[in-house]
Structure 1
Amino acid sequence: MQDRFLKSIAKLPEPLATAIVPLLDKDFAGHIDAQQLAELQAASKMELNELLLALLPIAAALARPPISQFHVGAIAKGKSGDIYMGANIELPGEALFHSVHAEQSAISHAWLSGESIIEDIIVNASPCGHCRQFINELVDGGKVNIHLPDQATAPLSHYLPYAFGPSDLDVTEPLLSKQQQTLTLDSNDPMIIEGLDHAGLSYAPYTKAYASVVLETKDGATYCGRYAENAAFNPSMQPMQMALSTMARHNRDFSEINRAVLIESSKGVISLVGAAMDALHSVAAVELEHIVVEPE
């Protein structure tokens, strides 16, 4: 079991703790599939909602909050029945807007894993306005059920009435809808090929700044992030932050970053290069490779 979960395990009911320990091996990065979840439910004898709330300490253990020291864990449950954990990430010395909120982390985890609909968000603290707006960008965002400790479950529309969202800006395919932009570049570089794939799947209906980041560690492992825009603009999730969140979930230290690539469309009305460089330089002494691609 990974050391980062030792304190969290102590907070779980004993039957659940015993059942989940085998899952928390060196490769665990916050994903529990539907079959594993059913087995945890059977072993713990908990109702599903009770189980999901009980798992929040495991999600919170993924957090890296050097500024606030406040660990927030979130779980996104997809239509597939799988659950995806996420946690807050703060970048030392950088402006607070570079932070990743736990709900963003969990949702991006589900998105990168191929989920198209999120039905439930479970979180150990009430979602802030930023996160409510981010959730609202999802397919049927207003219907996503929000689960909080010691509170009745309610849809996002309860927490964000009279919401402003994608439909107000004539966007008909919200976040998690299948996106497919054609971005090509003649390259045999595996990182660039991977980045092109993710940039093509990014969500940027407001600026057309389709983009991705690929981070490579010294052992050759890669961690990706895609741009995810928001109708309210500020809650948009940068691809660098998504890639760093992915690294954190996989228990990798940011100092292990050996190479970083940002790929973005030439047709975007903004560029993400400045924000990506600032975030990267706060955690690693690596220069950002910036590749601008002409979309087809």
Structure 2
Amino acid sequence: MTVTGDDVARAAGVSRPAVSQILNGRGRFSPDTIRRVEETAAAMNYRPSAAARTLATGTSDVVIALVPNTTFGTNLQDFVDFLTEELARAGLILVLRFASSPVELLEHFITTVRPRAVIAPFVAPTAAERESIEAAGIALIDLHAEGGRDENHRIGQLQGEYLASKGHRHLVYAHLRDTRLDVFGDAREQGLADYCLAHGIDAPTSIRLPLELDEAVSLLRTLPLGTAIACYNDDVAIALLGAARELGRRVPEDVALMGMDATRIGTLVAPRLTTIKVEAAPAMDRMIRDVVSRVSGSARPARPTDPVVLTVVPGDSA
């Protein structure tokens, strides 16, 4: 049998409107009344009508997260799982939207669902997305802008630092040829270029390749022996590793390869990939708790100060 607001009101000895106001954090009631209604609702396993609450408050229990349309590595997946759980504790539902989707689809979703908030944890919303969200009167939490650091720029710098430490002076940055999946590549390439400029190394050249052996072979054939390639991710590095094998080039003597993400598959290829591991758990934990507190209207904790930790995982490819 479904428990209604009227059932809770009778059991708690208050009016039906009082139940609605208290459970939606509105109205002025004594602490004892608030506690009695909340405890009664919990004991009776009462679930307020989402449609009614949307009509009353103007927003639903949905929170939209704009995420990059890229490979979901363990860090991104862990973030989504933890955020889903923490929002659920606050009675909120997480919905993911690809940031690269047409803005018209986002506008339709926002006007139809009336989300409590839109959060942008990894990529900044476009000007069109920002305008659409703000025009609808929906709260936008742009964590990418608030962070003050670009971890992808740091990744490119670290790749340059490591490759230079191995004596490499001719550096190349290898993008994945898919703008939907290579959403962080430009910032990483810029980090590599900035490192080279600061340390008197020639500016890196840039290549873009799909995860196809034939095209990887064609691109690698154009590069001179002794090239060191900072790759967008481990998948790109593995594609170039296959190309080197086809061309008979030795790794790392003829071509050095450095991946990103420290995926398990990178440990299974020969030679084993040199790559970068991202340790983001502490920073993400604070970020998520901050998001939940802001969306649910509770006291806001201190902003996260722990940086994402980037660690080189040495292999045999660079």
Q: Please indicate the TM-score interval, normalised by the length of the shorter structure.
A: under 0.3
**What is the TM-score of this pair, normalised by structure 1?**
0.26
Greater Rg by CA: 2
Decide which structure has greater helix share. 2
